[in-house]
Amino acid sequence: MTGPITLRELADIDVEIIKGVGERRKQALFDYGITSVLELLTNYPRRWVDRTNEARVGDLVTGQEALVLVEVRKVSKFTTKSRRTVVTVQVGDESGRLTAVFFNQPWRERQLKVGLQVAMFGKADLYRGVLQMSNPLVDLIGDRTGRIVPIYPQSEKAQISTWELATWVENALERCKERGLCDPVPSELIKRFELVDRTAALWGIHFPDSMVAKQDARRRLAFDELLRVQLVLVGRKRAFERDNTGIRHVVDGELQRRFIRTLPFVMTNAQQRVITEINQDLVGPHPMHRLLQGDVGSGKTVVAVSAMLAAVQGGHQGALMAPTEVLAEQHFSGVRKLLEGLQVPDASNLFGDRQLRVELLTSRIISEKRRELLRDLANGSVDIVIGTHALIQEGVEFASLGVAVIDEQHRFGVEQRAALRGKGGDKLDGKRGGKHDDKSAITSPDVLVMTATPIPRTAAMTVYGDLDVSVLDEMPPGRIPIKTSWVAGAMFESGMWGEVCDAIAQGQQAYVVCPIIEESDKLQVAAAEETFKKLGKAELKDYRLGLLHGRMSSSDKDETMTMFRDRKLDVLVATTVIEVGIDVPNATCMVVLDADRFGIAQLHQLRGRVGRGSIASKCWLVTSNPEESSPRIDALVESTDGFYLAEVDLELRGEGTLMNTMQKGASDLKLASLRSDRDLIDLARDAAFEIINADPTLKNHAAMRDELDLLLTPDEEEFLFKN
């Protein structure tokens, strides 16, 4: 082989080539999760110990966590009467001694031999006058004399020490020196973004000369991870634009102007800004593919209606797809109210105007009425249709679907979204108005996907990077903020129920949300039924209660919701089925039981069910422990700003994985962080646009294309795009 070594070559080299890796250590590495040299080199340290700056035993402060480098001096083990093993290890340095106690870790006796140099991390406490750490983290660092020592993730099963990993990594990097490592990022970009080269980055992440060198190395390798993600997303975005031609809609025409003039309120600056962004997409040659983020109550519907009216203005149709029948009916009712009396300018009409026609299509619309509606959709008599997934069923045809709006987009699979877009497809032949460019490309309707779950900007750019993003970050004037309180303990709960009863006595209504039980839908229903019975006999016995949960039939759910909306029920006891979209302006009280079982985003969505009318609303978050609230509960009490809460959520729960459906825990970006690398995400996105715009298929960036194929499976690439 000649030329610099590529990542694919490293991936094809078995770890047995590394000096000191025989059959036994090869099996241990396999158990650890490493089989190739590439996996060895990208198994990055989880922290670094600066030997010139580490804490000594004599500097430890009781009650505080710290890391010390110590020598093992004595090890003993015994078994308690309850058959628990306890391993006691005496360690120390020149400044003092420390006892480490390990409960139920009998293997520590074999691991920690007298004379070993180890790094210990834990909280020091005084026990019988002696400093002690219970179950500290331990890393065997051997006799490495470097100023900064890498500490690698440990595996109890594999029993590989951090110093062994460091030795093998060093051997691998030394053997790459002759040919050097391939660096696929253009040197001009590396220089402009002030990045170190890849060889320096791999040496610097494993064996830095200084903590600054380690930071520089991490920055470069994190950039590479983010660039790969952005290249996929930007590549897909540009491919979609290349392969699909759009309708050049007529925007800011008389119909849109009439709609805005007749609104019973003044639009916020954010709404005006977003409508302008959408109109710019609608007049362009490519179909719109835009995500509209807006907190509950920020006015997304007005923006969506404006976009659909642009389609109607040019002789096309608009469609709005919602995830549930309740939400579809609610949208239908709200949109019809907004558009009441609106006339469509029509030169072919004797009077110069015609009545705008808005219809509802769900599975409940059946028989003759359904046949008539489908016929009128196909012949173009219906201007705007609002519905559920019934819109994408076989037999539903549009004369000319121009703008498709998808609400609560995370509730739909990508196939359902694509199916709605496909309902426009090549039928958009321009006969009804609007201009088309490329006859060889597929003509697609413009798509606006909406979500009321705010997404941090970094996550939106990284997970929804193939969409343009618009944000409604301003609430309409006059909206009364919801007062949120944390409640724990019988006395406070009693006061809360008293306030709920007072509100009901004044003609208002309340929601009570039952605890989420993730293990079982059945248990969740049982908990809701039990809460319903308990409240009906005690705190809320004088009022009319309804029960709503996911196992009820659609008709029973709808009947209960209709009764609540019509004020035939005072209180709705429900599971999280009320999380999305239910709009009852008279409901002013929200009680969430066992609130600490819910995530921030879910609690914020639930809270958004109240505060929709002119009366000040309240939300109580009930937990069982009066001694301790949680950071999530504190954040919700402090703020009603969904975008602030989304950032807090990202901080608290970790970033989740980008490449599959896990939503919390370790990120599959090994080094890059959506929280702390905002500048790098911007740089990676700029770089991806620059590279893809000049070379859409990466024909002239073969090494980069090869790394994408190697490191992102087709499924992972597809998932990135689907999201």
Identify which of 388, 334, 391, 412 has the alpha carbon closest to the alpha carbon of residue 554.
388
pLDDT of residue 654: 64
Which residues touch 335 (CB under 8 Å, ≥6 apart)? 301, 305, 320, 358, 384, 386
For residues 351 and 33, what is the distance between their CA atoms, to the nearest angstrom?
75
Residue range 483-639, CATH number: 3.40.50.300
- Beta-carbon count within 10 A of 16 CB: 12
For residues 717 and 705, what is the distance between their CA atoms, to the nearest angstrom?
13
282-317 pLDDT, tens digit per residue, is: 998 888 989 898 887 788 999 999 999 999 998 999
- Beta-carbon count within 10 A of 147 CB: 15
Residue extent(s) of CATH 2.40.50.140 domains in the chain: 52-145
pLDDT of residue 429: 47
Higher confidence at residue 94 or residue 654? 94
Identify which of 109, 116, 110 has the alpha carbon closest to the alpha carbon of residue 92.
116
What is the mean pLDDT of the segment spanning 678-703?
Answer: 92
Question: Read out DSSP for 178-243?
Answer: TT-B---S-HHHHHHTT---HHHHHHHHHS-SSHHHHHHHHHHHHHHHHHHHHHHHHHHHHHHHHH
For residues 711 and 700, what is the distance between their CA atoms, to the nearest angstrom?
19
For residues 344 and 639, what is the distance between their CA atoms, to the nearest angstrom?
42
What is the identity of the amino acid at 328? Answer: A
Token readout for 709 is 């194929």
Identify which of 241, 321, 235 has the alpha carbon closest to the alpha carbon of residue 720.
235
Residue 553: Cβ-neighbour burial (10 angstroms; 0-12, 13-18, 19+)? exposed
Residue 167 CA neighbour count, 13 Å, CB half? 16
For residues 641 and 691, what is the distance between their CA atoms, to the nearest angstrom?
37
Residue 142 reports pLDDT greater than 50: yes
Residue 414 reports pLDDT greater than 70: no
DSSP H helices in 506-569: 521-537, 554-565
DSSP H helices in 639-675: 642-653
> In degrees rounded to 5, what are phi and psi of residue 58?
-65, -15
Residue range 52-145, CATH number: 2.40.50.140
Residue 695 reports pLDDT greater than 80: yes
For residues 513 and 646, what is the distance between their CA atoms, to the nearest angstrom?
21
pLDDT of residue 138: 84
Quick one: how far is CA 272 from the chain centroid?
27
Residue 433 reports pLDDT greater than 50: no
Question: Backbone dihedral region of 56: left (phi > 0), alpha (psi from -120 to 50 degrees) or beta?
Answer: beta
Residue extent(s) of CATH 3.40.50.300 domains in the chain: 249-283+298-451, 483-639
Check residue 699 and report its DSSP letter.
Answer: T
pLDDT of residue 384: 94
148-176 pLDDT, tens digit per residue, is: 888 888 776 777 888 889 899 999 999 99
Query: By three-state DSSP, how is residue 169 classified?
Result: helix
What is the mean pLDDT of the segment spanning 621-626?
Answer: 88
Average pLDDT, rounded, for the chain: 85
Residue 517 reports pLDDT greater than 80: no
For residues 216 and 198, what is the distance between their CA atoms, to the nearest angstrom?
11
Confidence of residue 441 (pLDDT cuts 50, 70, 90): low
pLDDT of residue 443: 76
Residue range 249-283+298-451, CATH number: 3.40.50.300
Residue 624 reports pLDDT greater than 80: yes
Higher confidence at residue 126 or residue 554? 126
Token readout for 260 is 């805005």
pLDDT of residue 203: 96
For residues 710 and 723, what is the distance between their CA atoms, to the nearest angstrom?
21
For helices 554-565 and 325-338, give the axis angle rounded to 10 degrees.
40
Higher confidence at residue 389 or residue 655? 389
- Beta-carbon count within 10 A of 280 CB: 12
- Beta-carbon count within 10 A of 486 CB: 18
Token readout for 301 is 């519907």
* 443 touches 424 (CB < 8 A): yes
**Of 241-250, 298-307, 344-353, 714-723, which one has max mean pLDDT?**
298-307
> In degrees rounded to 5, what are phi and psi of residue 431?
-65, -30
What is the mean pLDDT of the segment spanning 412-426?
Answer: 64
Residue 706: Cβ-neighbour burial (10 angstroms; 0-12, 13-18, 19+)? middle
* 211 touches 148 (CB < 8 A): yes
pLDDT of residue 424: 67
Identify which of 67, 64, 68, 134 has the alpha carbon closest to the alpha carbon of residue 99.
134
CA distance from start to end of the chain: 40
What is the mean pLDDT of the segment spanning 555-577?
Answer: 87
Give the Cα-Cα-Cα angle 99, 101, 103 (nearest 5 degrees).
175
Give the Cα-Cα-Cα angle 460, 465, 471 (nearest 5 degrees).
45
